[in-house]
């Protein structure tokens, strides 16, 4: 302890730094602060509230660390701490927050962004100011509309252009026919009434400038001005549909009418425990989730047991100094471990291909039958366990052979003298002593497999799909692959960040509990205290 550099001498050391390095430090800090202020301003304009908070926290922290002499030790980890906060701690907090929101497709916007979007929606009223119309079409396929209102005033309308009064004989507009309608408009050809009336595109085109005045064709002889459809009432937080008088109330971030109709888009809103309650109440979510959760416990259990058993068996078998070719055998058995997991998994996906795969061609040759690895729920699970056995046994082979060598040989000699059989020696000496060393690694391996996204997703994409699920759930999906599908692979059902995050929280709890148990098991905390 007395060898340790004490806190005081260290801050003295910091204070005694050269003037140049002090100057550089201050200048860098000021530059960083300037950048940070600019960043926060930009984020403010975009409405990224959470990001602003976290960047402010990091900026303040870094200023304290690099300005206060007392904070000297933290200067060694300032950047690391910033990354830790920004990319590890903040995402965890953000995940917890999102789990209590409806964030996802249809709810991606903030309320402030959603309201103006909805206010842009228009409808074509059954009654009201109307025009008679004549259509013109350009060679490029664009339309123009000659409009005459009840007072006989005429206008020219083009999509995306302001509607302006016009007279036959104006520049670019030809002479009037007997009804007062121009025969030609420059660049356009006049459509005869029959063609115009049967034109499929015409009734869908909005003429005029969006947000200003737009006109749409209502019937073969009438066009009318489009009206704003939804009027927002900020006090009641409701929208009123002008076309039929329906009132839409804000329900969990979606404006919904009494009859259940909803306006899209909704907005991002906190919805309390709804995502979690949905797990237990919504049959379309609960069904797959129970199935996924069950498999999520079975899969790592069998994986850890099988890989450990095979790895240990190999380690025991070759735990013999005189065994010939030991080194080469070990290297060859290690090969599955040395290949990047993704490559191995995709490789197995090909080898176990039900129709063309090598394995099934053999099996068919020998037994006239081969399991449908990719399409049957049961055989898919078996295939996953086989592949994971291949991927995982070398790790336990390495670990176990290391641990076996640390068991003193005289214990076995004593047991032999007492007349113990081989099995008894294994059961009462090898296994208990081994488990002390390997036990924590078994738990670590369990946790790893609990979230073994790559295997499940790359081998079989969680398939085959569960029929009748409201989300893209598959029979071999584990929670993490399910989360991924909900968030990034909606398959037309809409991404559901809120639901995905709620499931993440559940996994946090499960994995967290297991890992904390492991820490206790390995006396990690005591180790920390000893090292002080």
Partner 1 sequence: MSNIGQTYQNLRSSQKFQKRFSIAVRLVVALLLIYFSIFPVLWIISASFNSSQSLATQTLIPDRASLINYQRLFGADPNYKFGDLYFQKWIFNSVKVASISTILSLTITTMAAYAFSRLRFAGRIAMLKGLLLIQVFPNLLALVAIYVLVFQFGEIIPQLGLNTHAGLILVYLGGSMGINIWLMKGYLDTIPRAIDESGMVDGASHFQIFSQLLLPLLRPILIVIGILSFIGTYSDFLMARILLNDVNKYTLMVGLQIFTAGQFDQKWGVFAAGALLGALPIMIIYLILQDQIVGGLTTGAVKG
User: Judged by CB under 8 A, does residue 494 bind partner 1?
Assistant: no
Q: Taking the complex as a whole, how short is the minimal distance between the CB of residue 23 and partner 1, in angstroms?
A: 16
Task: Give the integer Cα–Cα distance in Å for 222 and 245.
Answer: 24
DSSP strands (E only) in 398-500:
none
User: What binding mask, one character per residue, do residues 300-329 give for partner 1 by CB under 8 A, x or -?
Assistant: --------------x--xx----xxx---x
Q: Taking the complex as a whole, how short is the minimal distance between the CB of residue 323 and partner 1, in angstroms?
A: 7
Task: Give the integer Cα–Cα distance in Å for 203 and 223.
Answer: 9
User: Judged by CB under 8 A, does residue 363 bind partner 1?
Assistant: no
**Residues from 189 through 218 that contact partner 1 (CB under 8 A):** none
Q: Which stretch binds partner 1 (CB under 8 A): 211-219, 298-306, 426-434, 484-492?
A: 484-492
Eight-state DSSP code of residue 203: G
Q: For partner 1, which is the closer residue by CB, 192 or 338? A: 338
User: What binding mask, one character per residue, do residues 333-352 give for partner 1 by CB under 8 A, x or -?
Assistant: xxxxxxxxxxxx-xxxxxx-
3-state secondary structure at position 404: helix
Eight-state DSSP code of residue 140: T
Q: Which two tokens stand for residue 48?
A: 């990224």
User: What binding mask, one character per residue, do residues 2-41 give for partner 1 by CB under 8 A, x or -?
Assistant: -xxxxx--x--x---x---------------------x--
Q: Taking the complex as a whole, how short is the minimal distance between the CB of residue 463 and partner 1, in angstroms?
A: 12
Task: Give the integer Cα–Cα distance in Å for 183 and 174.
Answer: 6
Task: Give the integer Cα–Cα distance in Å for 333 and 307.
Answer: 13
Q: For partner 1, which is the closer residue by CB, 208 or 266? A: 266
3-state secondary structure at position 501: helix
Q: Taking the complex as a whole, how short is the minimal distance between the CB of residue 39 and partner 1, in angstroms?
A: 6
| Sole binder of partner 1 in the list 28, 64, 79, 236 (CB under 8 A) | 79
Q: For partner 1, which is the closer residue by CB, 176 or 407? A: 407
Whole-Å CA distances, 410 to 407, 414, 416, 417, 426: 9, 6, 10, 11, 14
Q: Taking the complex as a whole, how short is the minimal distance between the CB of residue 205 and partner 1, in angstroms?
A: 34
Beta bridge partners of 232: 239
User: Judged by CB under 8 A, does residue 42 bind partner 1?
Assistant: yes
Which own/partner pairs from 60-65 qualify as long-range (CB within 8 Å, at least 24 positions apart)? 61/85, 62/29, 62/32, 63/29, 63/33
User: Judged by CB under 8 A, does residue 522 bind partner 1?
Assistant: yes
Q: Which stretch binds partner 1 (CB under 8 A): 92-100, 143-151, 208-216, 419-427?
A: 92-100
Q: Provide the sign of the torsion angle of the four alpha carbons 116, 122, 127, 131, taken in this order.
A: positive
């Amino acid at each position: 302890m007395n060898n340790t550099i004490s806190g005081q001498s260290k801050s003295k050391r910091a204070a005694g730094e050269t003037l140049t390095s002090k100057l550089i430090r201050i200048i860098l800090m000021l530059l960083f602060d300037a950048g940070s202020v600019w960043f926060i301003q930009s984020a403010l304009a975009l409405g990224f509230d959470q990001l602003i908070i976290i960047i402010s926290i990091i900026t303040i922290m870094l200023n304290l660390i690099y300005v206060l002499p007392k904070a000297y030790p933290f200067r060694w980890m300032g950047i690391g701490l910033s990354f830790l906060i920004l990319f590890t701690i903040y995402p965890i907090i953000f995940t917890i927050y999102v789990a209590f929101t409806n964030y996802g497709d249809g709810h991606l916007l903030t309320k402030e962004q959603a309201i103006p979007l909805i206010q842009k929606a228009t409808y074509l009223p059954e009654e009201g100011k109307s025009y008679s119309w004549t259509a013109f079409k350009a060679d490029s396929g664009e339309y123009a509309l000659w409009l005459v209102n009840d007072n006989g005033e005429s206008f020219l309308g083009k999509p995306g252009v302001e509607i302006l009064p016009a007279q036959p004989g104006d520049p670019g507009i030809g002479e009037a026919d007997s009804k007062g309608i121009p025969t030609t408009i420059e660049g356009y050809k006049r459509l005869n009434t029959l063609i115009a009336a049967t034109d499929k595109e015409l009734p869908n085109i909005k003429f005029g400038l969006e947000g200003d005045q737009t006109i749409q064709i209502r019937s073969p002889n009438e066009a009318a001005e489009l009206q704003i459809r939804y009027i927002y009432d900020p006090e009641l937080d409701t929208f009123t549909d002008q076309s039929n008088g329906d009132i839409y109330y804000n329900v969990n971030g979606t404006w919904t009418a009494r009859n259940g109709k909803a306006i899209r888009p909704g907005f991002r809103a906190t919805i309390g425990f709804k995502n979690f309650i949905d797990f237990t109440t919504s049959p379309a979510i609960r069904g797959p989730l129970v199935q996924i959760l069950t498999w999520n416990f079975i899969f790592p259990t069998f994986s850890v047991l099988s890989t450990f058993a095979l790895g240990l068996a190999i380690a025991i078998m070759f735990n013999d100094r005189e065994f010939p070719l030991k080194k080469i055998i070990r290297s060859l058995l290690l090969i599955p471990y040395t290949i990047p997991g993704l490559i191995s998994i995709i490789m197995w996906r090909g080898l176990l291909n039900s129709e063309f795969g090598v394995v099934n061609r053999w099996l068919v040759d020998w037994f006239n039958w081969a399991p449908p690895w990719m399409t049957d729920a049961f055989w898919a699970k078996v295939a996953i366990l086989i592949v994971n056995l291949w991927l995982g046994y070398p790790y336990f082979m390495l670990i176990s052979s290391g641990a076996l060598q640390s068991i003193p040989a005289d214990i076995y000699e004593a047991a032999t003298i007492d007349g113990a059989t081989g099995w008894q020696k294994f059961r009462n000496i090898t296994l208990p002593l081994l488990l002390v060393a390997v036990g924590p690694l078994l738990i670590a391996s369990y946790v790893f497999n609990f979230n073994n996204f790559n295997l499940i997703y790359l081998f079989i994409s969680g398939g085959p799909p569960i029929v009748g699920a409201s989300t893209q759930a598959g029979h071999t999906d584990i929670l993490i692959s399910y989360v991924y599908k909900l968030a990034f692979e909606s398959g037309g059902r809409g991404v559901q960040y809120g639901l995905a995050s709620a499931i993440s929280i559940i996994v946090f709890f499960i994995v967290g509990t297991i890992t904390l148990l492991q820490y206790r098991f390995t006396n990690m905390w005591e180790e920390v205290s000893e090292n002080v």
